[in-house]
Amino acid sequence: MKRLLYKSNQITLLRVLLIPVFLLFLSSNLPYKEYISAFIFIILALSDALDGYIARKRKEVTELGKIIDPISDKLLIGAALIFLIGRGVDAWMAIAILGREIIITAIRLIALARGIVISASMLGKAKTISQILAIILVILNIPGSWYFMLVAVIITLVSGVDYAIKAAMTIEEKIINIPNMITTGRLFLMPLYLIMLFRGLTEKALLIFIVIGLTDKLDGLFARITKQKTTFGKIFDSFTDWTVILVSFIVFYILGFLEFYWIVLMLIPSVVNSIIKLFYLKKEKDVILAPIAQIAVGFTYLTVAAVLINFIYKYYFLIAMLIFVYLAMFRYLYLFLKKSENFKIC
């Protein structure tokens, strides 16, 4: 556990903790907020290369670093894109990039859990650079930034197809099946859901969200009926759930439905749970399960719906939701620590 204090891991964790600071400046009305936000984003983006360099230089490459580094990258890029929707980034652009990142990250973690390393290609590196550059230009409101974002979307999707093809030839698990296609459908409904929200069409947004929530149960049902349960499917389903939930909370803040601290309160358990699940997957070759977590996800979906309709008791729902979510987090921690005697997690 002492290796958790390695400099490289400290930088990665600090990057995660500073994301809310970046978002606060980005959404503030302070003078020169664009320049301050762009500066913070550049520092956080560059720190991604720094922690990797330090880890290799000091021989501090750890399992923790392999897991939290890509998570921190996706959180930074994803949060920036969502906050910039309507301010230089179209909703479909943000969802195209987020969808690709979720799917590829799930595949990557499955491969990692099986000891398979699928090396990043030049397309993958070009994707990262194009995303960072486009986001900086959008933040600074540089003329033509929309076209840079369009190029970033194209490179992102092309690199995703390239990575998926390589992974399909490497991972010995059938990832294209009915349950996973249903989960993908839920993911692809998100652009329409966000468009309805930003246009103020709350009733239509609610209807789409209900479909997303119901199909969350449908993919699990099909997996059991058709006996097509896969490790990838379990991870992909969880990733999709929490993407829908966190994106909803971020958009609610942007639209003035909720205060910023609700995002932070939801971000903490989602990151902790992700790290625990991935460590467990790495060691046990399976996904850690806890009934309270399923209840938490279900209640969180209900809470999002309560916020959407501006239910008079929505804050009671939010408080109850946090109780379930943090109980699930502590349950995961307990189950993980119970197994940790046989784990060498660093």
- 86 phi-psi bin (left φ>0, alpha ψ -120 to 50, beta other): left
Taking only the tens place, the pLDDT of each residue in 30-81 is 888 888 888 988 888 887 666 555 656 656 555 555 666 667 777 888 888 8
Taking only the tens place, the pLDDT of each residue in 278-309 is 777 666 666 677 788 888 888 999 999 999 99
* pTM listed for this prediction: 0.69
Q: Which helix (H) or strand (E) holds 334?
A: helix 314-339
SS3 17: helix
| Nearest in space to 243 (alpha carbons), one of 109, 89, 71, 108 | 71
Of residues 118 and 294, more confidence is placed in 294
Q: Percent of the chain, pLDDT > 70?
A: 74
- 134 phi-psi bin (left φ>0, alpha ψ -120 to 50, beta other): alpha
